[in-house]
Amino acid sequence: MSEQTNIDDKLDQLQRAEGPLLEVKDLQVDFTTDDGRAVHAVRDSSFSVYPGQWVAIVGESGSGKSTSAMACLGLLPGTGKVVGGSIKLNGTEISHYTQKEFVNVRGSKMGLVPQDPMSNLNPVWRIGTQVKEALVANNMDVSHEKRSDLAKALANADIEIKSEGDETFLGSKELPELLEAAEQALVGIGVEGDAFTKKMGYFRSEWVPGSETRWRVADDLIKAGVKDDDAWYIAKKYVTGSSMEDRIAGLLDEAGLPDAATRARQYPHEFSGGMRQRALIAIGLACRPELLIADEPTSALDVTVQKKILDHLQDLTDSLGTAVLFITHDLGLAAERAQHIVVMYKGQVVESGPSLEVLQHPQHPYTKRLVAAAPSLASQRIVSVEEHGQDASAIMEHKVNEQSLETADTIIEVSHLTREFKLPRTKDMFKAVDDVSFKVKRGTTLAIVGESGSGKSTVSNMVLKLLEPTSGTVTYNGSDIAQFKGKSLLDFRRHVQPVFQNPYGSLDPMYSIFRSIEEPLRIHKIGDKKSRAARVRELLDLVELPESVMRRYPNELSGGQRQRIAIARAMALNPDVIVCDEAVSALDVLVQDQVLHLLNDLQAKNGLSYLFITHDLAVVRQIADDVVVMQHGKLVEHGTTDEVFLHPQQQYTRDLLDAIPGGKLELGLNLD
Amino acid sequence: MGKYLLRRILQMIPVVLGTTLLVYALVFALPGDPVKAMFGDKPVNESVAAQIRAEYNLDKPFLVQYLLFLKNAFTLDFGNTFSGQPVIDEISRAFPVTIKLALMAFCFEAIFGCVFGVISGLKKGKWYDSVILIVSLLLISVPTFVTGFLGQYFLGVKWSILPVTAGSNPGFFDLLMPAMVLGSVSMAYIIRLARSEVSSNVSLDYVRTARAKGMSNRSVIFRHILRNSMIPVVTYLGQDLGALMGGAMITEQIFNIHGIGFLTYQSILKGEANMVVSVVTLLTLVFVVCNLLVDMLYAALDPRIRYA
Amino acid sequence: MTDINTTLPGQERYVAPLEETPLQTVDTVDESAPATSMWSDAWRTLRRNPLFIISAILIVFIIFVALFPGVFTKTDPNYCTLDDSLEPARPGHPFGFDMQGCDVYARVIYGTRTSLSVGILSTLIVVAVGTLIGAIAGFCGGWIDAVLSRIVDIFMAIPMLLGAIVVLQMFRTVTSIWKVVLVLALFGWVSTARIARGAVLSSKNLEFNTASTALGSTPMRNLFRHILPNSLAPIIVIATTSLGSYIVSEATLSFLGIGLPSTTVSWGGDISNAQSILRTDPMVLFYPSVALAVTVLAFIMMGDAVKDALDPKSRTA
């Protein structure tokens, strides 16, 4: 602990002595529209990043957070232009830099980890080649580590670095000889048996060519008991520099990519999203920039992967002394990772300060609103209230309806549901859903939680009878839905309605809002023209949208508004059950909160039952009574929301709960 | 890669069979007597007509005719012309000329199309972009035969830079103008294709990432923008190589080049149905083979295809 | 951590004054803007595109000429006397005379109708047949798609011009323009079918179709109410552009002497007739060529403009 304080003090001193690494003052960024109007995307925004510090910019989409970051890199899209203010990097003004001048600072001084791992790697080049490009572009010495002054200063606390050569990388050619020498050295000092195997195993996993340096090899040997001089002798003899390939593999390994040397020869389409993001992190850090701009680096990934990658990134940047400008929409995540938070709204910084302070005592009404709405914080709040031995129900938006869960009748019952898909070009079958059973009670909400590939959406499609199960049954009000045909199917459709994930895809762009909401009424031949129009008005009122929206088209509405239209459409036939397949996942926090409230209100008013599919466990707390956790097609855990949150039985559920951002935060209880 | 190729070749077989059948059917099975058509406006000589019918197996059922034709085609035996010469001889005399012309046109359209298209796409909105765009629009709108005449009139007659016609055994210089005329429309399409590809690729995420790595503008353009933009352009070019041979008919007619197109056209005028079917079959084969080459190239350029 | 002393200079707590960025209600609908559908949006984009304005004016003018050629000339295009052979322009005959002594101006005017009707009729047939087959292939999938796609491949492998020549040489005695229309349609439907198939396939997988099905809609209803309307844009684009290329093809076939019969007044035929006198009287060839080029240009520009308006991603200008 005291060592840590020591380092913190040292860091603080250094930061004060060096001043801010990046200093943005009164930044203004304009975009020009087609008809020549200027749109102010960022106005009078100021923030700064100190060496070795994580600073988060938080805001919803369109708040100007990414634009501010891109302005620092000189990579504004389209017509974007810095029209005022200053951006200083290490005290040098860069806001007026030409693209040629920016080339000199990009990569080497400022790196980028972009948002969408799917589109940010060029599909036609090997991963390794794309890492290599960064090294070549900045003339990086691939056989020696480039360590920032900060990292050096911090490392000094650990071990004395003797000379420049100590930063030489281990090469793959020398690795076998080095391991042999280490073996002999261990034997020489009398290490044997389990201790020997353990130490050698440790060396094998730690000594990655192109990443491990001479002094660290020496340090490892010394810590294993080898005498200082011997250790340094071995390290100097066998750690003599790495090739380009070694360095690429080393970088990928540092970013947490297993089997990096082989992976480097693969193409992006052979990588999963998480692996691509790791490759992008390797690229962003390849030239050891002093500042890394991470633009929502994990928002496209599963929560557990997100946590792993961010943990890794944090370790890596800490050890390298890299400062990180972290762009995110998640306040909980920002507060958990960064020391300093900048909240942006409509192109302006509305509040900034030390993370916890901002979170515990938000001052600006927008920040207050954000803090109140963030699902990750909400569930955290509940936990911390309970830890203080108070009644949490007062601050819960959705209280588990225990009574209904026990007494109400079952409206949807899924038993032993299994669905197999044939894998393309092979004869193998893939079980997307494997023996899943649960019941939805009338008037309650059952949430299915799982990451991508867990089979949760396949379940929802089978419940909606959009997909036939391979085996198992779904019953609605006691009758097997597989038997429904013609009229009975139409009747089933009338009572079980879906709301899908993508607010941009689920409404026909050619249909006016009126036609979209009216469609179910027309399909089921309900009412005449006049009564249908009246019903559409009623429904719009139900989802709190003005009547005038009727004449509009989906492209004119925001994601949240479209989702409310989709809910209105689903409500048109007075259904019993609504299946929400990731219905709020694509929405900004505040909008998400609004839609969740709407769903809760509708349930209270109309006694609806929900089957709520989501990847976000945090949201579950705000809406569900019952939770089913799925992984790889199997049901992992099933219980009431309180049980699952308070006493998770399975490791996977615990991992999911841990991955909710903000888990380590101590939140204040006074939210006024 | 091997599996992918095999699949493509297997897919090619029904296309080749279907296409030859279609061509054969169009010539010999459409309502109207093909033998009568051979005589054109002249009165039909019944004894000659009967002889022709027998020679081309026209007295047998249609499918048998087609199978016999296929069998012969495998041995490159396409029968004889009216004057008694083997069809294959005439074709092999004319083919090299057309190949030369098509290849020259191909190089012309590929080089100029890509260069202008890429410049245009990178400098969207500049004055030369507009000029290139307008010229390409004009080239697409003006039919090849009009371009040909304009070329003949200005380059040939008025300014006497290039020969007006090519003749029976043309050299590189003789074929220069015909090749430019033949390639002009495709060049315009390539310009437009390359331009839209490049200009949409410029703002892609991975291009931004490449810039963020600190790569110079030049290497970003070459390694990321051009490499990816060229994939659809190469596809177009490959398909066009086959089409150029077929399209050479007009150009060869205008410039009096004794190639495949010229031969086909003369055969049509003379009513040599046999020759027409043979040539069209051959050209179709060329087209299909070019498509296969494109697929291979495509797989080489785009790793996603290779493993699909 | 929250100790104020550890805050670094420039990172002190900051709260923006409320009046600077007044808080807005979450997710309100902008009721001030007029309601616009995709089509009215496209129309607005079109109206601002100079390419569209120029091509629209040209096309309206060309259609007018085709419908009322008598307004532009009183001369009969088929009244030719060898006395006038290759006479230069004179009052009432602004473009002079061709080899047969026909009035070039009158023939250019009357040729408009031929070119335009062939272009429009072929396009109509191609769009109808191509969309039908493409939509069936895309919508049904499975073996129907496989068979139809192979048929499309087969037609694709035959160059349009060669195919047309093969067929047309059989029907040299037929004089109706329908033979050219049908032949162009026979070899032209495939590209439209391909595009229609692609469009149907991509809109078939959109979520609103699944949503409709879950609301109780039948697959057929989905096809006609959702999938087809959403596939129209690319079909309209290819139809406009193809119209121009069919006009070129007709002219090319007539130029080769196997398209329209010589009795029909057509630009292609006139250009063909004029090629032998290129060296001496280039203007006889020039006028129908210009008319042809301008007409085709108008339709291709229109196609570009429509494409820009309907598919904002592929802006060419």
> Using one digit for the tens of pLDDT, what is the confidence trace for C254-301?
888 888 877 788 888 888 888 777 777 778 888 888 999 999 999 989
DSSP, collapsed to helix, strand or coil, labels residue A189 as coil
pLDDT number for residue B37:
58
DSSP C133-199: HHHHHHHH-HHHHHHHHHHHHHHHHS-HHHHHHHHHGGGTT---THHHHHHHHHHHHHHHHHHHHHH
Contact B243 C162 (CB under 8 A): no
Per-residue DSSP letter, C34: P
Residue A664 lies in a domain: no
Contact C169 B152 (CB under 8 A): no
pLDDT number for residue B1:
63
List all chains that touch chain C, counting a touch as 3 or more CB pairs closer than 8 Å: A, B
pLDDT number for residue B198:
93
Residue B59 and residue B53 in contact, taking contact as beta carbons nearer than 8 Å: yes
Residue A533 lies in a domain: no
Out of C8, C16, C35, whose CB is closest to A350?
C16
A134 and A57 co-located in one domain: yes
CATH 1.10.443.10 fits B96-305, yes or no: no
Residue A217 pLDDT more than 60?
A: yes
* Residue B228 touches chain A, beta carbons under 8 Å: yes
pLDDT number for residue C2:
39
Q: Tell me the CA end-to-end span of chain A in Å, nearest whole number.
A: 35
Residue C93 lies in a domain: no
* Separation CA A145–CA A135 (nearest Å): 12
Contact B214 A104 (CB under 8 A): yes
Residue A553's nearest CA partner among A516, A589, A522 is A516
Nearest-CA distance A551 → chain C (Å):
6
A121 and A66 co-located in one domain: yes
Out of C18, C35, C221, whose CB is closest to A556?
C35
- Say which residue the tokens 């109140």 belong to: A372
pLDDT number for residue A664:
60
DSSP, collapsed to helix, strand or coil, labels residue A292 as strand
Give the count of beta carbons closer than 10 Å to the beta carbon of residue C276: 11
| β-pair type (A626-631, A445-449) | parallel
* Separation CA A527–CA A521 (nearest Å): 8
E strand residue ranges, chain C = 14-15
> Using one digit for the tens of pLDDT, what is the confidence trace for A535-576?
999 999 988 888 888 888 888 888 888 888 999 999 999 899
Per-domain residue ranges for chain B? Answer: 96-305
Contact A553 C36 (CB under 8 A): yes
Out of C16, C41, C217, whose CB is closest to A351?
C16
Nearest-CA distance B212 → chain A (Å):
5
A413 and A327 co-located in one domain: no
Which of A364, A394, A418 represents a domain boundary (last residue)?
A364
What are phi and psi for residue C93, nearest 5 degrees? -135, 75
pLDDT number for residue B159:
85
Residue C212 corresponds to which amino acid? S
pLDDT number for residue B132:
92
Mutate to test the interface with A, among B203, B208, B209 (most CBs of A within 10 A): B209
Per-residue DSSP letter, C8: P
* Separation CA A494–CA A253 (nearest Å): 54
pLDDT number for residue C156:
83
Per-residue DSSP letter, A441: E
Residue A221 lies in a domain: yes
- Dig out the tokens for A334 from the structure: 């920002």
Out of C157, C279, C297, whose CB is closest to B141?
C297
A104 and A180 co-located in one domain: no
Which of A335, A364, A393 represents a domain boundary (last residue)?
A364
Question: Count of residues for chain A?
Answer: 672
Q: Binning pLDDT at 50, 70 and 90, where does residue A30 land?
A: very high
Out of A346, A352, A548, whose CB is closest to C21?
A346
Residue C98 lies in a domain: no
Contact A353 C37 (CB under 8 A): no
Residue A261 lies in a domain: no
What does the longest C-alpha to C-alpha distance in chain C come to?
108
- Rounded (to 5) percent helix, strand, coil in chain A: 45, 20, 35
pLDDT number for residue B32:
55
Residue C268 lies in a domain: yes
Per-residue DSSP letter, A227: -
Q: Does C125 or B160 have the greater pLDDT score?
A: C125
Contact C252 B144 (CB under 8 A): yes
Residue B123 and residue B221 in contact, taking contact as beta carbons nearer than 8 Å: no
Where helices occur in A361-451 by DSSP H, the ranges are: 365-373, 375-387, 402-407
What count of Cα atoms within 13 Å lies in the side-chain half-sphere of residue A393?
5
pLDDT number for residue A148:
67
Which residue range(s) make up the domain with A153?
Answer: 149-242
* Separation CA C235–CA C203 (nearest Å): 13
A306 and A450 co-located in one domain: no
Q: Which residue of A has its CA nearest to B216?
A: A103
Residue A395 pLDDT more than 60?
A: no
Residue A619's nearest CA partner among A571, A671, A579, A582 is A582
Q: Give the number of domains in chain A.
A: 3
Residue C32 lies in a domain: no
Residue A650 lies in a domain: yes
* Residue B14 touches chain C, beta carbons under 8 Å: yes
Give the CATH number of the domain where residue C282 resides.
1.10.3720.10
Mutate to test the interface with C, among B42, B134, B141 (most CBs of C within 10 A): B141
Residue A140's nearest CA partner among C176, B214, C230, C234 is B214
- Dig out the tokens for A570 from the structure: 């689903």
- Tell which B residues from 125 to 154 touch C, by Cβ distance under 8 Å: 133, 137-138, 140-146, 149-150, 152-153
With vertex at residue C133, the alpha carbon angle to CA C130 and CA C134, rounded to the nearest 5 degrees, is 75
A501 and A413 co-located in one domain: yes
Q: Binning pLDDT at 50, 70 and 90, where does residue A651 land?
A: very high
Query: Residue C43 contacts by C-beta under 8 Å, 6 or more apart in sequence?
Result: C309
Contact C161 B32 (CB under 8 A): no
Per-residue DSSP letter, A548: G
pLDDT number for residue B190:
94
Residue C191 lies in a domain: yes
What does the longest C-alpha to C-alpha distance in chain B come to?
82
Give the CATH number of the domain where residue A409 resides.
3.40.50.300
- Dig out the tokens for A491 from the structure: 């009747």
pLDDT number for residue C4:
41
Residue C164 lies in a domain: yes
Contact A519 C8 (CB under 8 A): no
> Using one digit for the tens of pLDDT, what is the confidence trace for C66-120?
999 888 888 788 777 777 777 777 777 778 787 777 888 888 899 899 899 999 9
Residues of A in contact with B213 (CB under 8 A): 106-107, 111, 133-134, 137-138, 283, 286-287
Residue A160 pLDDT more than 60?
A: no
Nearest-CA distance B280 → chain C (Å):
7
Residue A390 pLDDT more than 80?
A: no
Contact B26 C151 (CB under 8 A): no
Q: Binning pLDDT at 50, 70 and 90, where does residue A128 land?
A: very high
Residue A394 pLDDT more than 60?
A: no
Question: Count of residues for chain C?
Answer: 317
Which residue range(s) make up the domain with C208?
Answer: 41-69+105-314
Residue A61's nearest CA partner among A117, A115, A119 is A115
- Tell which A residues from 17 to 56 touch C, by Cβ distance under 8 Å: 19-20, 23, 48, 50, 53
Q: Give the number of domains in chain C.
A: 1
Residues of A in contact with C11 (CB under 8 A): 48, 50, 340, 352-354
Nearest-CA distance C18 → chain B (Å):
36
Residue C238 pLDDT more than 70?
A: yes
What are phi and psi for residue B242, nearest 5 degrees? -65, -45
Q: Which residue of A has its CA nearest to C13?
A: A353
DSSP B125-193: TSHHHHHHHHHHHHHHHS-HHHHHHHHIIIIIIIS--S-S--BSS--HHHHHHHHHHHHHHHHHHHHHH
Torsion over CA: A645, A650, A655, A656 (sign): negative
Contact A116 B210 (CB under 8 A): no
Residue ranges for chain B with pLDDT beneath 70: 1, 29-44, 52-53, 55-59, 82, 168, 306-308
Contact B206 A105 (CB under 8 A): no
Q: Binning pLDDT at 50, 70 and 90, where does residue C11 land?
A: confident
Residues of C in contact with B150 (CB under 8 A): 289
Residues of A in contact with B211 (CB under 8 A): 75, 103, 106
* Separation CA B221–CA B204 (nearest Å): 12
Question: Count of residues for chain B?
Answer: 308
> Using one digit for the tens of pLDDT, what is the confidence trace for A311-370?
888 888 888 889 999 999 888 888 888 999 999 998 899 999 998 888 888 889 899 888
Residue A107 lies in a domain: yes
Out of C150, C169, C279, whose CB is closest to B15?
C150
A491 and A618 co-located in one domain: yes
Nearest-CA distance A134 → chain B (Å):
5
> Using one digit for the tens of pLDDT, what is the confidence trace for C170-219?
777 777 888 899 999 998 999 999 999 999 988 888 888 888 888 888 88
Contact A107 B213 (CB under 8 A): yes
